[in-house]
Structure 1
Amino acid sequence: MKATALCLALAPGMALAQQVDPAVELEAQTLLDAALKLMADKQYAPACRKLEVVVTKIPHASGARLGLARCYRGEGRLASAWSQYRQAETLARTAGQADRVTEASTSAAELAPLLGKLQIEVPDDVRSIPGLTVTLNGKVQEPATWGIPFPADAIEHEIAASAPGRKRWRTLIRVYDKKKPTDGAEPFRVIVQPLEVNKTILRIDSPPDVLDLRGITIRVNGEVIDPLYWQKGSDVQPGAHEIEVIAPGRERWQTRVVIKEGDSATVKLEPLKEIKSVNASSVSALRVGGVVAIGVGLVGGGIGATLGGLSISKNNESNDGHCDAQNRCDQTGFDLRKDAQSLQLGGLIAGVAGAVILAGGVTMVVASSPSRKRNTGGHFAPQAQLFIGPTTLGLRGTW
C-alpha cells in the first residue's frame, strides 16, 4: 500500500488543473487521511465511501483517483477499480506525473482480463416505446450503450426500465469476475422485457347472496357492467367513479371511489336491503281507521257549518231593528251580536278540526289502497289541501 505517496497527492496534481477552494481542499485532504488509515486496517468499505467524496470534491486530483482505485480493488470491485485507474492515468499524464501514469496503466492492464462484463439488450419493440428510460443501479444508461458489453463489478445489479403510461420493469443479476485471465467467459446478458400498459382497473367484489339476486344490475357512471367483469375487473379512466346497484324488491345501493392512474380498486358490495311491503292486516286496520276518521271529519264539518249558519241568523236578527248602521245596538241587539260571535267561533273550531280529521282519514284510505302504485322507494305521498270559507268547508288534493 502506497499510503505515503498519497498523503500529499492532492497538491501536486493541481498545478495544471482548476484552482480549488482552500476550505474544500482541506476537507478533502482530511477525508483522504482518514481513508488511508481505514485501508491500512483493511476496512475497505468505509474507506471507499470517504474517497468517493474526495473525488467528487476534487475530480482532477490524480492521487485521489489512485487511492480510490486501490480501495475498490481491496473491496473486490474490480471493474470500478479498473475504471478509476484509467481516469487516474489520464489525469496523471496531463499533470506530467510519470510514476502515477505507470502505476495506473499497469494496474488497469492487470485487471482488464479478469473483469466480468454485463450486456443490457433492449429489443426493437421495447426501444420504440416513447419516453423509455433504462437504468443500472439507479443510473440512466444512454441508448448508445445498449447492447454493448461493459465491465461490471462482481455484485448484484438492478436493471430497470420505465416509460410514461407503462408499468416499471426490473430484474436483478449477479456478475462474477474471472478466476484467471485465461478463462473465457461470455458477458452476463439481460434482455429488457416489454413494459405492460399501466391500466387503471376497477373490480366489483360481491357476496354470493348479492350476485344471486334476480334481476340485479350494476352500473358504473350510469353504464351497465357485464357480470363477467365484476370480479375480473375492467379498464376505467383515472378519477372518480359512481357505482350503483339495483334489484327488484331491493333498496338501491351506491358508493363512490376515486382511482389514480395505474392503480386498481376493489369495491365490496353490501347486501341490498329488502323493501318491506305493508301486510294485509296493517292495510285493513289503516283503511278502517281512515274511514272512521272521514266520518268524524264530516260530522265535525257539519257541526261547523250548522254553527256558522246559526251565527249568520243571529247577526241578521240583530240588524232587524236592534242595531243601526253604525253598529249601535240596544240590549237585545247586543245580546244577539254576542251570541252570533260565539256561534261563529264554535263553528270555525269545529270546521277546522273536522277538516283536519277528514284529510287524515282520506290519506289513510288512499295509502292503504292495494291498487295504488308506489315509487321506487316503496313510498306514496298523497297531498291534501284544506279550504275554509264563511259558509263552506272543503278538501282538495292528489291521491
Structure 2
Amino acid sequence: MRSFRARHAGAWLALLSGMSLTSPLWAQPTAADKALAEGLFQDGKKLMDEGRLQEACPKLAESQRVDPTVGTLLNLAVCHEKEGKTASAWAEFKEASALAASAGQQDRSQFAAKRASELEARLTRLVLEVAQAAPGMAITLNGKDLSAAAATGSGIPVDPGTATIEARAPGKKPWSQQVALEPGPSAPRVVIPPLADAAAEEQAKAAPPAPPPPAPVVPQEAAKPEGSGGPLRTLGFVAGGVGLAGIGVGAVFGIMAIQKAGDVEVGCSGNFRCSRADVEANESAQTTAMVSNIAVGAGLVFLGAGVTMVLMSRSPEKPVASERVWLSPSVASDGGRVTLGGQW
C-alpha cells in the first residue's frame, strides 16, 4: 500500500499521510497495474520532496492514470501547485474534494476544498472574445477544443506560461496567436478577429499556372548542304567544263573516224584486196573511233559530277536560268576544234 512520509510540518501535509489507503475509485486495476502505480507513486513522492518537480509531477500523473486514487490525485495537485501550474492544481483539488466526499472521507474532502478555494483567488483567467463567429467555427487552446460557451465568458482558468489560441472554420483562413500568461490573479483578454475568406486563395492554388508567353520567332537562313560554298561551286564548273570539252573532243574524233572509214570504203570498193594505204587508214579510223568513245565517256562522267556540285552549291538568291554553259564543236579540213563558253 502507498504511504506518505512527510518531511515538512503542516496540517495539510499530515492529512496527506496514508492517502494510499483509499481504494480505487474507477475500474479495478490488475495486480500488475497496482505494482506499477505504487512504484511510480513512490518515485514521484521522493522526487517532489527533493524539489525535482518537473520529474515528480509526470510520475504522479502516470500513477494516477494506471491506478486512480484520491491520495495520488491530492499529491499530484500539490506537485502542480508547487510547480506554478495553479489552474491544474485548482482543478485537481476540486476533483479530489468531490471524490473524497463521495467516498465518505470528509477530512480529505474539506482539505481539498480549502486548497482549491485558496488557489481560485490566485488563478490566471484567459478571456476570449470572438469578434464575429463563423459557421462551423472551432477554437482550440493549447491544442484542446473549446466549446462556444467555454470560449467566451468571464475567463478560462489557465496555467501561467505561453498559451496558443487557434480558430478555424470551413471556407476561412485559419488564425492563431500565442499569448504570454503571467501568474495571477490576472485576466488577459484576446480578441479573435473575423476569419478571412479562403476562397480566393484556394482558387488561386487550384487554378493551373498560366502558360508562358510564346517565344518570338526569329527567321533563320536555310541551312546549306554540308560541303557547299564557293570552292565546291567552282570545282563544279571546272568539272562540267572538262566534261563538255571531253564530249566535244569525242565528237570531233567521231566525225574524223567516220570520214576515215568512208575513205577506206571508197578505196577498197571494186577490188578484192585493199591497198596498204587503205589498211592503214582503216586502222587509223578504228583508233580515232576508240579515242572518240573514251573522250565522250569521260566527258559525260565529268559533266555529271560538275552539274551535281553546282546544284549542291547553288545559292537560292540566284535563279538557275542565269547560269549557262555551252560547247561549240567544229570540223575543218585540217582537223576539228571545240569552243567552250559560259555565263554565271
TM-score by length of 2: 0.61
Per-residue CA deviation, residues 76-119 of structure 1 (Å, 9 max, x unaligned), is: 21111111112222333344433332222221122222222112
> Match of 1:127, SS?
coil
Aligned partner (choices 52, 70, 84) of residue 92 of structure 2: 84
Matched, 1:23 2:32: yes
> Match of 2:160, SS?
coil
User: In 2, are the aligned partners of 1:78 and 1:111 still within 8 Å (CA)?
Assistant: yes
* Residues 298, 358 of structure 1: alpha-carbon distance in 2 compared, 3 angstrom cutoff: farther
* Residues 55, 357 of structure 1: alpha-carbon distance in 2 compared, 3 angstrom cutoff: farther
Matched, 1:347 2:286: no
Q: State the shift of 1:72 in Å.
A: 1.0
Residue number in structure 2 paired with 1:54: 63
Residue number in structure 1 paired with 2:52: 43
Matched, 1:191 2:130: no
* Residues 164, 242 of structure 1: alpha-carbon distance in 2 compared, 3 angstrom cutoff: farther
Q: State the shift of 1:147 in Å.
A: 0.8
> Match of 1:362, SS?
coil
User: In 1, are the aligned partners of 2:243 and 2:298 still within 8 Å (CA)?
Assistant: no
- Structure 2 residue runs without a partner (length 5+): 1-5, 7-11, 222-227, 258-284, 319-344
User: In 2, are the aligned partners of 1:52 and 1:68 still within 8 Å (CA)?
Assistant: yes
User: In 1, are the aligned partners of 2:252 and 2:292 still within 8 Å (CA)?
Assistant: no
Alpha-carbon separation, structure 1, partners of 2:92 and 2:29: 21
Letter in 2 for 1:190: V
User: In 2, are the aligned partners of 1:159 and 1:170 still within 8 Å (CA)?
Assistant: yes
Alpha-carbon separation, structure 1, partners of 2:83 and 2:237: 107
- Structure 1 residue runs without a partner (length 5+): 180-184, 202-234, 253-274, 279-288, 318-331, 367-399
User: In 2, are the aligned partners of 1:69 and 1:81 still within 8 Å (CA)?
Assistant: yes
Alpha-carbon separation, structure 1, partners of 2:104 and 2:60: 23
> Match of 1:121, SS?
strand
Residue number in structure 2 paired with 1:224: none
Residue correspondence of structure 1 range 116-155 to structure 2 within 5 A: 116-124=124-132, 126-128=133-135, 132-148=137-153, 149-155=155-161
Matched, 1:65 2:73: yes
Residue number in structure 2 paired with 1:297: 236
Letter in 2 for 1:160: E
342-351 or 306-315: which moved more?
A: 306-315
Matched, 1:156 2:162: yes
Q: State the shift of 1:153 in Å.
A: 1.8
Letter in 2 for 1:133: A
Residue number in structure 2 paired with 1:109: 117
Alpha-carbon separation, structure 2, partners of 1:195 and 1:312: 103
Alpha-carbon separation, structure 2, partners of 1:50 and 1:116: 25
* Residues 311, 78 of structure 1: alpha-carbon distance in 2 compared, 3 angstrom cutoff: farther
> Match of 2:315, SS?
helix
Alpha-carbon RMSD across the aligned residues, in angstroms, is: 4.6
Q: How many residues align?
A: 272
Per-residue CA deviation, residues 271-302 of structure 1 (Å, 9 max, x unaligned), is: xxxx8999xxxxxxxxxx96786565355446
Identity level (%): 26
* Larger fraction in helix: 2
Moved over 6 A (4+): 2-8, 275-278, 308-315, 335-339
Higher RCO structure, 1 or 2 (CA under 8 Å, sep 6+): 2
Residue correspondence of structure 1 range 229-244 to structure 2 within 5 A: 237=206, 242-244=211-213
* Residues 40, 307 of structure 1: alpha-carbon distance in 2 compared, 3 angstrom cutoff: same
Alpha-carbon separation, structure 2, partners of 1:165 and 1:305: 89
Matched, 1:12 2:12: no
Alpha-carbon separation, structure 2, partners of 1:353 and 1:301: 4
Q: State the shift of 1:351 in Å.
A: 2.1
* Residues 36, 296 of structure 1: alpha-carbon distance in 2 compared, 3 angstrom cutoff: same
